[in-house]
Amino acid sequence: MYRIVAREDLAPVTKLLVIEAPEVACKAQPGQFVIVIVEEHGERIPLTIADYDRRAGTVTLIFQEVGKTTRLLGTKRAGDELFAFTGPLGLPTEIENYGTVLCIGGGVGIAPIFPIARALKEAGNRVISIIGARTKDLLFWEDRMRSVSDELVVTTDDGSYGRKALVTVPEKEILESGEPVERIWAIGPAIMMKFVSLTSRPFEVKTIVSLNSIMVDGTGMCGACRVEVGGKTRFVCVDGPEFDGHEVNWDLLMERQRIYLDEEKRALARFEEMCPSCRGEQH
């Protein structure tokens, strides 16, 4: 079992958990993910690593409560244990000194973009970051992102905080301003990553995205996560999760993300019926 040592509510539906997993913490690198099973009968879900502390032997996860499994995970408190925790999986981000780089995090994608931005900063890059969310309540880690960025732009779709814009608006402005951006990283919902990639394409700036496809084992065994990149089938879990956003077949990715929508709704309805708040109070 894997003990939760700390919990923080970043927003009403965005939670942070710090998990005791010394061996995973020891090897974790920016860009990698873990597979979590919350309770014994649970499903295996991939969550990107938001941070790690090798000395403390902990891994930090940030997730948004969207379905049954993440809702259940959201009921966990410090001292609780997770049934399974496997990682670090996937290939790490290629960190180098590229010069000037742009890091874009959307919604819960702000969490995994943070260790990448930090590593890029430590490697000597000039880091420009954009973080955005639908609304103010979904934003978090502005201070941490600012601490690893030379410039930070904050946006909300509804204008409730920072600039009222989608992240692609400042992205385009920065690319047009003549900033010598060598590479872009974008993590967020598929639709956001698609448009970040479309925006950067005319500027011919390589854009790395972290794909969030459906997975089961997360170790290359099942192929549930397969995507098309540059016309070839790739497994997100072992060949990714990072790919060249200009090469990804986005429509296919989004279609495949919807395969279990009906089952997800059913599971969530059943979970709510069984009174999640009561379950939460037990802890």
Partner 1 sequence: MPKERIPRQEMPRQAPEERRRNFKEVALGYTLEQALTEAQRCLQCKKPQCVEGCPVQVRIPEFIGALRNKEFRRAADLLKDKNNLPAICGRVCPQETQCEARCVLARKEEPVAIGRLERFVADWERQNGVQVPPKAPPSGKRVAVIGAGPAGLTCAGDLARCGHGVTIFEALHAPGGVLMYGIPEFRLPKDVVEAEVEYVRSLGVELRLNWVIGKIKSVHELLEEGFDAVFLGTGAGLPMFMGIPGENLSGVYSANEFLTRNNLMKAYLFPEYDTPIKVGRKVAVVGAGNVAMDASRTALRLGAEEVHIVYRRSRAEVPARKEEFENAEEEGIIVHFLTNPVEVLGNEKGWVRALRCQRQELGEPDASGRRRPVPVPGSEFDMEVDMVIMALGTRPNPMVFTQSAGLERTRHGMVVADENTGRTKLERVWAGGDIVTGAATVISAMGAGKRAAADIDAYLRGERNQVWWVEPEAAAAS
Query: Would you tell me which residues interact with partner 1 (CB under 8 A)?
Result: 23-24, 27, 37, 41-44, 68-69, 83-89, 216-217, 219-224, 226-228, 233, 238, 251-252, 255-256, 258-260, 263-264, 266-267, 270
Q: How far is the CB of 69 from partner 1 (least distance, A)?
A: 6
Cβ neighbors of 233 (< 8 A, separation 6 or more) are 226, 227
Shorter beta-carbon distance to partner 1: residue 160 or 249: 249
Q: How far is the CB of 218 from partner 1 (least distance, A)?
A: 9
User: Minimal CA–CA distance to 46: which of 56, 26, 31?
Assistant: 31
User: Minimal CA–CA distance to 132: which of 161, 155, 108?
Assistant: 155
Q: How far is the CB of 107 from partner 1 (least distance, A)?
A: 23
Shorter beta-carbon distance to partner 1: residue 34 or 119: 34
Q: How far is the CB of 89 from partner 1 (least distance, A)?
A: 6
Q: How far is the CB of 84 from partner 1 (least distance, A)?
A: 4
No. of H helices and E strands in the chain?
10, 16
Q: How far is the CB of 8 from partner 1 (least distance, A)?
A: 24
CA distances from 244 to 16, 69, 185, 269 (A): 28, 29, 9, 37
Shorter beta-carbon distance to partner 1: residue 21 or 133: 21
Query: What does the angle CA 256 – CA 30 – CA 82 come to, to the nearest 5 degrees?
Result: 70
Shorter beta-carbon distance to partner 1: residue 203 or 260: 260
Residues found in the chain = 283
Q: How far is the CB of 213 from partner 1 (least distance, A)?
A: 11
CA distances from 66 to 14, 69, 169 (A): 10, 8, 27
Q: Are 60 and 45 a contacting pair, CB within 8 Å?
A: no
Shorter beta-carbon distance to partner 1: residue 266 or 283: 266
CA distances from 245 to 8, 111, 114, 186 (A): 32, 19, 19, 9
Shorter beta-carbon distance to partner 1: residue 27 or 164: 27
Shorter beta-carbon distance to partner 1: residue 126 or 226: 226
The strand pairing partners of 2, in sequence order, are 82
